[in-house]
Every structure is written in structure tokens, then in C-alpha cells.
Amino acid sequence: MSELQFEEQAVEDKFQTFIQTLTDSETYLEFAEASEALDEDSEATALLREFDQKQEQMQQGEFDQSVMSELQDLKSEIADNDTIQRHREAREALVELLQGTNEIITEQIGRKFAQSTGGGCC
């Protein structure tokens, strides 16, 4: 094994340790549980699907007061849904953890490690 291959293997081993540590963390486990709960909650998933459909209607130019009103009603229902809110909070906590990890890596290597190019979801 060449020195380069040895270094690459060492990095891969450390990366796998990082992934295992991440997936064992409370933050990730809560996100995984909240995701599973959301997947199993047909009412919550139906609300989210309907909300996405209404947003798509608006983006396609089907903008009228009834669609806007329906969208506002759906937003209220989503805000009141415990399963959706648990998932949102768990996702935000995981994103915060990963952003913190990114900042530490950036600081340690003296270069921007990962950078958002904008966009995203949700």
C-alpha cells in the first residue's frame, strides 16, 4: 500500500468514525425518530402534500384569493400539528449540528470546507 493510499484509508476510517458518532448522537436519533413518526402519520403527510400542491399552483400562476386562503389555512394546520412540528424542530437541530461541524472543519483546515450555494428546501 502506497503512502497516499494509506493516508486515504486513514481519512476514510476517521470519516466512518465521524459518521458513526453522528448517527449515534441524540440529535440525529431524535431526527430519525421524528422522521419515522412523520412517515407513519397519514394526516400530517397529507397536510404537507396538500400544502406543497397549493404552493405549486401558486408558482404556476394559479394565484387567486381562494388558493391563498387555502394556503393560509394549511399553514395554520401545519403549525398546530405536533408530528410536523417535532420533525421541523429535530431537522433544525440536526442542521445546526452539521453547520457547527462544518464551521469547526473550516476553522481547522483554514479554508471553507462546505458552502451553501443558496436554494434548499422547506
DSSP string, 65-107: HHHHHHHHHHHHHHHH-HHHHHHHHHHHHHHHHHHHHHHHHHH
pLDDT (tens digit, 9 = 90+) per residue, 107-120?
A: 988 888 876 555 55
**What is the pTM for the complete model shown?**
0.79
pLDDT (tens digit, 9 = 90+) per residue, 10-21?
A: 999 999 999 999
Q: Per-residue pLDDT for 69 more than 70?
A: yes
Are 51 and 74 in contact by the 8 Å Cβ rule? The answer is: yes
